[in-house]
Amino acid sequence: MEIDGCPLPDDRRYDLEHDVWWQGDPGAGTARIGVTAVLASFAGPFRSLTFRPVEGTLATGRSVATVESVRYVGAVRLPVEATIVERNLELVRHPRGVNDDPYGSGWVVRVRPVRPDDPGRLLREAREVADLVRSRIRAQHVRCWPATPEVEVVEVGVECSAVLARLNEELGHREGGEALLLVTDDPTSPIEMVRWSDQTGHVVLAHRTEGSLYLFLVRKEVHPVPRRPRG
């Protein structure tokens, strides 16, 4: 399922109070827990993930990790009473993994519930929380993208040539593989961005329109290959 561009997989259950998902491991009696794409998109690129040194049986709502971005600091909390059986230590080295793949490799902990029926009894399916997720997306002005932008470049009221000059300047400060979000009100930008991508070899991963604004998610390629010569 996808809601306003934000994925909400049907194959797991959700605790929106704590912004986490739960997915059972078939036949193992354990489950993975991670944060929702809505939270990951709202927070922006995570700069750190720190696991709490907690062991044994942990109560519902207990913090198992802390995630931090430039504009957000929050705890990852257990949706049911459980014990931790594994921590995703790769996230300590690469916290952006939570943003890049929140429902896959960005899982935070693997746990064993104290009461196996708690998840089915206490947590809700995607279809049951869809309206609440939609309301949260709109209230918090959340935008989910296929890659998390490192920075937002807003160029309103200027011609597209100036917009592209600013875009090129900002990309010059980025590492290969990083993405940025360009926001402009120039009505020629959809055509110009296709031309720009062909000329530079950098990729427009996604674009959308919000009112009079045009939004483009751009990724800087490590080895850009232009598809059309400049001029």
Give the start-end residues of each E strand in 70-197: 73-77, 82-87, 109-113, 124-125, 151-155, 179-184
CA distances in angstroms from 220 to 108, 178, 183, listed in the order given? 28, 6, 16
Half-sphere exposure of 21 (CA within 13 A, CB side): 26
First-to-final CA distance of the chain: 43
Helix (H) or strand (E) holding 137: helix 126-139
Q: Answer yes or no: are the C-beta atoms of 79 and 16 closer than 8 Å.
A: no
Domains and CATH numbers, the chain: 2-139 (2.40.50.100), 151-219 (3.30.110.40)
33 and 44 Cβ atoms separated by less than 8 Å: no
Matching residue, tokens 């750190």: 48
Residue 226 vs residues 55, 198, 220: alpha-carbon distances, Å: 53, 5, 12
Q: Per-block average pLDDT, block size 10, for the chain (231 residues)?
A: 94 97 95 98 96 96 97 97 98 96 97 96 96 96 91 92 94 93 96 96 95 96 83 54
- Give the residue among 183, 231, 175 at the shortest CA–CA distance from 202: 175
Taking the whole predicted model, whether its pTM rises above 0.75 is answered as yes
Q: What pLDDT was estimated at residue 227?
A: 83
C-alpha–C-alpha distance, residues 40 and 69, integer Å: 10
